[in-house]
Structure 1
Amino acid sequence: MHNPRLDFVTCASPAGMHRVAYWEWGDPGNDKVLLCVHGLTRTGRDFDTLARRLSGEYRVVCPDVVGRGASDWLLNPAFYTVPQYVGDMVTLIARLQPKTLHWVGTSMGGLIGMVLAGSAALSVRMRVARQIHAGSGLAGPGLHVDRIVLNDVGPRLATDALARIGQYVGEGQAFDSFDEAVAYLRQVSAAFGPHTDEQWRELARHVFLQRGDRWVKHYDLGLATPFAAHDDAAMAAGEQLLWHSYEAIDSPILIMRGRDSDLLTADTAAEMVRRNPRARMVEVPGVGHAPTLMDDAQIEPVAAFLREPG
């Protein structure tokens, strides 16, 4: 299969209902699901190369997080936050009903997976404790992420990198040609590392839309709204919550780090390995934030980790 199927699931926010698009590869009856979730300004089509490689083993599902790609935009941009995205992914997982769930999350997609996996693990522990206290039989395990790949992201995010990202998220550039859009992407995403001309075009193909005779960004510029609301106290509290979620994950974790990343520092990645015994790390040389999982050198460590037994 060379092209994915497109489907939608209806989700809710405090401001109303919205549809989340997802791109699906492989056998729709396969209950072994690989959920791939993209970065802040990207789309589910970022994972085309990985999905083609693994669609014989998994039902590979790659959502466009709300506000991006083929998904709806939120009526209130203040809700473009990780808790909203986690709620949307829980709704999607309920639709998919996987028996086995593996997760690959790049940047923001890793944060979503971290919170979801940690929250799910804590929920199971609390439910089991209540049942033991009540003397009742144990219920089924509920939602559980069986393996998770965190692609260049962790509980502590370097503030300089966040400021860099925040500078271009809300910029509403329009380009006279697709080639100009590709050139812009190569400039702002230079940290992705070396790519062929065709790979850069592939990375641009689903993140710029043609409107009339101009090419514009595919996402709601309101994504920048939560960035403007952040202060030091909120960032510190958010980091502590992320560490709490991360440490609660009871599944194998692969941390993939671009060796030149300015978002996930080497010190933070090492601390992640120390603070969760299920974690290991692999570094990608010549790449910053974030590895695109488009070539064999990046795909193979991920595929090998996902295929490990147990």
Structure 2
Amino acid sequence: MIPANETFNGTFPFEPRFNQAAGFRMHYVDAGPQHAQVVLCLHGEPTWGYLFRDLTSRLSTHYRVIVPDHMGFGKSETPADRSYWLQDHIDNLERFVLSLDLREITLVMHDFGGPAGMGLAARHPDRIARIVSVNGPTPFGQASQLERLMANAAEAPWFQWIVQAHAAGRLETVLGELGFNILSTLKLNGFERNEVISDSWLRAYGSHFANPSDCLGVIGWAKGFALDAHRFEMPDAAAQRAISSKPALAIWGMADRTLGAAHFLPLFSELFPSAPIHRLPGVSHYSFEDAPVAIASLIEAFLQQTTQRALA
């Protein structure tokens, strides 16, 4: 686990906070005015709240930006006696949100933060105000979701590696040393802006995974895919109607080889047929690293526009 006050040479200057509602020490950032609109940022694999550092700095002037680290990632604990399937992360997120009584939430979701956030939305559609998908899938009970997920997995190098490594019995061995191979894992999933790489940046993404026992979160997400252990939350008809009526935005790095736009943007449009989609050429999977300013500007404009419409 990363020390609570670690700022990585000032690149992550946010006060650490911790919450025990999910039965482990979950770290989160809570930046900005406490009574402002809530923007809840949900990371994926193998990142943590550091991914949203630029967005947090930009939005927290006017919004309450909350960024939790999932169990087994970032500054959160990695308990040895827990499972790390998607449904566990949804359970943890639900308990976290209810403990803080967060309402009128704008979800900003990346990677498996998408299925986790949509799981929260399925359980508590009344607490969700907006949906923002940034290279983050939005499965929500559509008939096509499994087909699209499997078609993507057949093409993506990351998912192909998971299946092959699991079959060969080396998945846990390789991912159990993620602190030493973090750069190759991030590059396999994809980012284009190599100039972001520095000692501080590598420590930020790799230092949580110092020992195999620290890697249960990243192993769980990959192994859960190999074992078909992850379970997507299935919304009821009322939840599906409620969420599909919310303002939504998709921003997608079109060079993403892990979550292909051809598979996941149609999934988004099935749920939000009138929602805008911004396609970013030359931006890969870790889009917040490749295009932080462009993405923050798009999200900020979306928040302003939808707030004005709601007040009109």
- TM-score under structure 1 length normalisation: 0.73
Could you say if the C-alpha distance between residues 73 and 113 of structure 1 is closer, same or farther in structure 2, counting changes exceeding 3 Å? same
Deviation at 1:71, TM superposition (A): 1.0
Match status 1:7 vs 2:17: yes
Deviation at 1:246, TM superposition (A): 6.5
Could you say if the C-alpha distance between residues 95 and 246 of structure 1 is closer, same or farther in structure 2, counting changes exceeding 3 Å? same
**Amino acid in structure 1 at the alignment position of 2:21:** C
* C-alpha contact (below 8 Å) 1:118/1:247 kept by paired residues: no
Aligned to 1:59: 64
Aligned to 1:257: 252
Match status 1:209 vs 2:193: no
Aligned to 2:188: 188
Question: Unaligned stretches of 5+ in structure 2?
Answer: 1-9, 140-147, 166-170
* C-alpha contact (below 8 Å) 2:178/2:206 kept by paired residues: no
Deviation at 1:54, TM superposition (A): 0.6
* C-alpha contact (below 8 Å) 2:175/2:215 kept by paired residues: no
Deviation at 1:89, TM superposition (A): 1.8
Question: Unaligned stretches of 5+ in structure 1?
Answer: 122-142
User: How far apart in 2 are the matches of 1:89 and 1:291?
Assistant: 23
Instruction: Give secondary structure in 1 for the equivalent of 2:44.
Output: coil
Q: Percent identity?
A: 23
**Amino acid in structure 1 at the alignment position of 2:219:** A
* C-alpha contact (below 8 Å) 2:254/2:260 kept by paired residues: no
Instruction: Return 48-57 or 253-262, whichever deviates more.
Output: 253-262
Match status 1:171 vs 2:175: yes
Aligned to 1:159: 153
Aligned to 1:147: 130
- TM-score under structure 2 length normalisation: 0.73
Decide which structure has greater strand share.
1
CA RMSD in angstroms comes to: 3.5
Q: How does 1:1-310 map to 2 (within 5 A)?
A: 3-12=13-22, 17-27=23-33, 29-77=34-82, 79-121=83-125, 143-154=126-137, 155=139, 156-157=148-149, 158-160=152-154, 161=156, 163-164=159-160, 166=162, 171-173=175-177, 184=184, 187-189=187-189, 191-197=190-196, 203-209=201-207, 219-221=214-216, 223-225=218-220, 227-230=222-225, 238=231, 241=234, 249=243, 250-262=245-257, 263-277=259-273, 279-292=275-288, 294-308=291-305, 309=307, 310=310
* C-alpha contact (below 8 Å) 2:135/2:251 kept by paired residues: yes
**Amino acid in structure 2 at the alignment position of 1:302:** I
Deviation at 1:292, TM superposition (A): 1.5
State how many pairs are aligned.
272
Work out which of the two has the higher radius of gyration on C-alpha atoms and give 1 or 2.
1
**Amino acid in structure 1 at the alignment position of 2:15:** R
Deviation at 1:66, TM superposition (A): 0.5
User: How far apart in 2 are the matches of 1:35 and 1:110?
Assistant: 12
Aligned to 1:135: none
